[in-house]
A = this chain, B = another copy of it.
Amino acid sequence: MNVKAIFFDAYGTLFDVHSVLETCEQYFPDRGMQISEAWRQKQLEYTWLRSMMDKYEDFWKVTEDALAYALKALGLDAGKEVRSALMREYLHLNPYPEVQKALEKLNSRKLAILSNGTQAMLDLLVENARLTQVFSDVISVDELKIYKPYMGVYELGIDKLFIDKNEALFVTSNPWDAAGAKTFGFRVCWINRFNKPFDELGVHPDVVIRNLEELADKL
């Protein structure tokens, strides 16, 4: 594969969104996974719905709103302090265990992040995981005021890197993001970490791997 640059999705792909689990458990014993799953589900829904309604709010706000909804829906009472503590976790999500090493193997290419997160969220996330040196570009959808899988977001990626879409590979764990990138015209690698079926959206990824370590071998 002739690949000049690799775009990585951040949340769920490089970073484990369920890293919030431990702190959820501290405040709400035995409810951590429920909270984390409802939170993530609503966060995604709100990015899609706000995009469709042309009512953009940035990813920090959407993540706060999703957390507030998730806690209410689960009948859990949380004041502002608890919610702030949970939100802080979003700046310290753990990279998946193989990420650091796998990225090192790939660094003959330009490596970039293309994510729904705000610039500040992404910069802190990357810094806290000591990955700042690895990426040439950390690109946020925020300047477009619309979320993935809107086509303009993928376009933003190639515009920022001054490359053509056929020179890039797009790597994500999120099937809807993979479908968006494929629809845009990227070659797409889907990381299927949890052995799930791919979404039925009329397109398919070019490469499927179990974790990022497998990517270097495929290239």
Binding site for B on A (CB under 8 A): 42, 45-46, 48-55, 57, 65-66, 68-69, 72-73, 147, 149-151, 176, 179-180, 183, 196-197, 199-202
Contacts and interface: CB of A to CB of B under 8 A. Distances in A.
A53 B196 contact: no
Nearest to A184: B53
A55 B202 contact: yes
A151 B54 contact: yes
A40 B147 CA distance: 23
Identical subunits present:
2
A147 B52 CA distance: 9
19 contacts: A42-B200, A46-B200, A48-B48, A48-B49, A49-B149, A49-B176, A49-B179, A49-B199, A49-B201, A52-B52, A52-B149, A52-B180, A53-B201, A54-B151, A55-B201, A65-B201, A69-B199, A69-B200, A72-B197
Contacts of A149: 49, 52-53
Contacts of A176: 45, 49
Contact of A200 (B66, B180, B202): B66
Contacts of A65: 200-201
User: What does DSSP make chain A's interface, helix, strand, loop or mixed?
Assistant: helix
A172 to B, nearest CB: 14
Given A66-B200, A69-B197, A199-B69, A51 B52 contact: yes
A21 to B, nearest CB: 22
A52 B48 CA distance: 8
Given A66-B200, A69-B197, A72-B197, 9 more contacts: A42-B199, A45-B176, A48-B52, A49-B149, A49-B201, A52-B180, A53-B150, A53-B201, A69-B200
B196 A55 contact: no
B201 A46 contact: yes
Contacts of A199: 42, 46, 49, 69
Given A48-B52, A52-B52, A176-B49, A197 B151 contact: no
B200 A53 contact: no
